[in-house]
């Protein structure tokens, strides 16, 4: 049985799918790919079924990641019974997820696993900005993914 993680942003077309793809690769690199299942979703359903934002996909591709298969989904409250850890990209989504969460659900900010990030740090939404915002998101996601992989290596082994 694998440990299940769901990464969540607003629409599931920028931050959370970038984090999903990077975290999967990072977990594989740490020998945890067979122990952890990673997926992503959005708190809103506006983009359901659609692909990743082109800028997000291009940013990933430039660093050797492939986001071409991603399709946006909306987080559902009944997923809490199937997911061990829910990670929000920002405080707004964290609040929305906690409103849906049953007692005892593990819901946190994704950047809480980045040892170099200040407490309460968020992954900012690059959607309305320029391409460099996506590159910054990727840097944040990579740092948090390494921290999470190191945390899970201790927890799951």
Which of 104, 100, 51, 102 minimizes the C-alpha distance to 76? 100
- CA 27 vs CA 95, 110, 112: distances in Å: 27, 15, 17
Helices (H) and strands (E) in the chain, counts: 4, 4
- Among 104, 22, 99, CA closest to 65: 22
CA-CA distance, 104 to 111, in Å (whole number)?
Answer: 20
Active-site residue set: 9, 15, 125
CB 45 within 8 A of CB 85: no
Contact assessment for residue 90 and residue 14, using Cβ atoms and an 8 Å cutoff? no
């Amino acid at each position: 049985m694998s440990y299940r993680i769901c990464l969540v942003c607003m629409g599931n077309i920028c931050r959370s799918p970038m984090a999903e793809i990077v975290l999967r690769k990072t977990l594989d690199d740490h020998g945890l790919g067979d122990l952890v299942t990673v997926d992503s979703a959005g708190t809103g359903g506006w983009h359901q079924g659609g692909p990743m934002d082109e800028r997000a996909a291009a940013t990933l591709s430039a660093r050797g990641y492939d986001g071409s298969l991603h399709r946006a989904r909306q987080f559902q409250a009944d997923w809490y019974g199937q997911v061990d850890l829910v990670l929000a990209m920002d405080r707004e989504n964290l609040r929305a997820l906690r409103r849906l969460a049953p007692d005892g659900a593990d819901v946190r900010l994704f950047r809480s696993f980045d040892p170099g990030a200040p407490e309460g740090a968020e992954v900012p939404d690059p959607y309305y900005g320029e391409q460099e915002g996506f590159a910054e998101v990727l840097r944040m996601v990579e740092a948090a993914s390494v921290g999470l992989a190191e945390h899970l290596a201790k927890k799951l082994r």
